[in-house]
Copies of this chain bind each other. A is one copy, B any other.
């Protein structure tokens, strides 16, 4: 049972408590019991990419009627829910327990959330009317097209899709992959990052982001990419060719050369959402593990599974690791609330490194406790593993965050060295008097 006396639900606002209780009930009693139905309604083969299981729309209706809608969009936005990042973080943990259904049912699923934030924050009135409104309404979906196969995209300055202005249009040419959500038939909009000014001396001013309707001629979704064997349909993670794709110049976000500004603004809270959902996933995995190892029909060598080997210890460690990670994530959320996302970069990186790694560890233990079954789809664990495994790569691989964190610490070297020198002087002064 998780422990969290530092951010107790019961100390938060009554309005939030009510939302939290509803969200919990909705996830446990509506979303989780709908998972098998969703799978069945998905169909097989190509229909996986064409049919949206009706149960999802049904859940969306219910969530919206409960007020569980667009909660991710915080109080800094006109359209926002008024929740703090800490509050939304706690909700996001709940939705993580049913990661394929609950976030979308509550219109809080990536990458739409980040895209809606971008539009709400940087969009023109026209852009908002055309795209933000239907997104907030759950009528369409969207994708964010950044990663490219031919360069090391973990350094975003490498991204090279060409954006060329011709008259009142931008012409896009290039190749993207791992474009999450692009497989969804409802995906109507891409936010595409590319180089509009490759020769700019400031490499953080070379890129722009433009809005590209999904049905623009020249856009071809080539294929979905599997993740550890899972295609994540209907959203998918897709490879997309942009060939002489033309959009009006009004489709630019913020202005030419401001792509980095946009992605910096976009990533903060979204990273935390992923982390919180990872914690929800880990909690559900631990529940599966506990149920499995105490299953009376699963005795071996005269003992319950839980009486063997390191299982009790693995469960205890999982509890510690989950709760530690939650604190890191809530800490980052609190820092965003107190300062802003930019001021919380360090805290976000810490959570981003710790939470997915923790969840993978807990999932791996849970899978192992289920034997081969744990690797199949008879349990949700393998699918969860696949989903979380991407999080150590997406939005900046762990290595990049770790490197930034380490260098951040090193930046204090001079200050600490000065303190050490000062202490040494005081120490010498004492010693000289002995």
Contacts and interface: CB of A to CB of B under 8 A. Distances in A.
A34 B430 contact: yes
A155 interface: yes
B306 A410 contact: yes
A371 B152 contact: yes
B291 A41 contact: no
A226 interface: yes
A393 B405 CA distance: 26
A12 interface: no
Most B CB contacts (10 A, CB to CB) among A5, A178, A297, A397 go to A5
Contact of A416 (B290, B300, B328, B375): B290
A334 B6 contact: yes
Contacts of A246: none
Interface stretch (A25-33, A108-116, A213-221, A258-266): A25-33
Given A397-B371, A426-B29, A300 B155 contact: yes
Given A3-B350, A399-B368, A323 B312 contact: no
Given A150-B297, A368-B399, A375-B393, A331 B338 contact: no
Contacts of A419: 28, 287
The interface residues of chain A, by DSSP majority, are classed as helix
A225 B393 contact: no
Given A385-B228, A420-B291, A331 B335 contact: no
Q: Which interface class (under 10, 10 to 19, 20 to 34, 35 or more) fits A?
A: 35 or more
Contact of A431 (B40, B293, B317, B409): B40
A228 B229 contact: yes
A320 B399 contact: no
Contacts of A237: 372
A7 B6 contact: yes
A112 B383 CA distance: 30
A410 B308 contact: no
A330 interface: yes
A327 interface: yes
A427 interface: yes
Contacts of A325: 324
B28 A434 contact: no
A389 B375 contact: yes
A188 interface: no
Given A1-B412, A291-B416, A312-B309, A354 B320 contact: yes
A351 to B, nearest CB: 9
A410 B151 contact: no
A222 B392 CA distance: 36
A323 B334 CA distance: 15
A417 interface: yes
A153 interface: yes
Contact of A334 (B5, B41, B178, B299): B5
A178 B429 CA distance: 29
24 contacts: A6-B6, A32-B423, A33-B427, A40-B434, A152-B297, A178-B372, A225-B378, A226-B376, A227-B372, A227-B375, A228-B230, A228-B375, A229-B230, A229-B382, A286-B409, A291-B416, A294-B410, A306-B410, A311-B406, A316-B405, A320-B328, A324-B328, A371-B393, A375-B389
